[in-house]
Amino acid sequence: MKLALFDCDGTLVDSAALIHEVMARTFTHFGYDRPDVSLTKSIIGLTLDIAISRMQGKPHVDDEALAMTAHYKAIYAGVRDEPGMDVMLFDGIEPLIRTLAGSDEILIGAVTGKSRRGLVHILETHGLAPHFIVSRTADDCPSKPHPAMVTECCSETGMNPADTIVIGDAVYDMEMAKAAGATAVGVSWGYASVEDLVAAGADSIAYRPGDVLKHFS
Residue from 147, 149, 153 nearest 139 by CA: 149
CATH topology of domain 16-80: DNA polymerase; domain 1 (1.10.150)
Q: How far is it, in rounded angstroms, from Cα 84 to Cα 66?
A: 28
Helix residue spans in 13-62 (DSSP H): 16-29, 37-43, 48-55
The pLDDT of residue 196 is 98
Domain with CATH 1.10.150.240 in the chain: 16-80
SS3 73: helix
Spell out the per-residue pLDDT of the chain, length 217, in tens: 999 999 999 999 999 999 999 999 999 999 999 999 999 999 999 999 999 999 999 999 999 999 999 999 999 999 999 999 999 999 999 999 999 999 999 999 999 999 999 999 999 999 999 999 999 999 999 999 999 999 999 999 999 999 999 999 999 999 999 999 999 999 999 999 999 999 999 999 999 999 999 999 8
The pLDDT of residue 163 is 98
Class at the top of the CATH hierarchy for domain 2-14+88-216:
alpha beta
Contact 8, 89 (CB under 8 A): no
Contact 93, 8 (CB under 8 A): no
The pLDDT of residue 217 is 80
Contact 129, 146 (CB under 8 A): no
Domain with CATH 3.40.50.1000 in the chain: 2-14+88-216
Question: What is the pTM for the complete model shown?
Answer: 0.94
